[in-house]
Amino acid sequence: MTIELYKNSLISKEDASLYFQERYDSQKWFELTDEEQEKLLITASKRINRFDFVGEKADESQPMEFPRDYDIPQDIKDAVCEEAISLAQNSGNIHEENIKAGIQSISLGTGSVTYANSGVFEEDRQLSSKNALYLVKKWTKKGYSFGC
């Protein structure tokens, strides 16, 4: 799979690599193959693309939400990177999978785990990275109902 800017990704692989060169604790990114990096950036872009952003698309027929009637904010590019590395770092994490599946608690023998998510909006569960969510929400319309 190849990245096509604004067709399947909101950031180029080169710009993402620059971001990770300056980000603390991003060694995992450089351990991934080029194909894995591209897939993660595309997946993260598609997740972020589901939000309802302020402004209008530059062209109504474009596949991604950006570009808009304003330049793509650095926050959105950074959010794609944060979501991508979060997906890579949490791949196979059973607790992350349980939370995504809506499981509130599990018990095995005498042990149990309870996942706290009361008071969390549905839209806040659409990204695995809290950092990415923070960056994205600065650019979304307020008071909308999230839809997949």
What digits encode the pLDDT tens for the residues 58-90? 999 999 999 999 989 999 999 999 999 999 987
- What is the pTM (predicted TM-score) of this model? 0.78
Residue 144 domain-assigned (yes or no): no
Helices (H), 3-148: 13-22, 27-31, 34-49, 74-90, 94-100, 130-137
Tell me the two tokens of residue 132.
């990415």
Q: Would residue 147 count as lying in a domain?
A: no
Average pLDDT, the chain: 84
Q: What is the span of the domain harbouring residue 41?
A: 13-137
User: Could you give the maximum distance between any two Cα atoms of the chain, in Å?
Assistant: 57
Report residue 104's pLDDT band, with 50, 70 and 90 as the boundaries.
low
The structural domain count of the chain equals 1
Residue 2 located in a structural domain = no
User: Is 122:81 a contact under the CB 8 Å cutoff?
Assistant: no
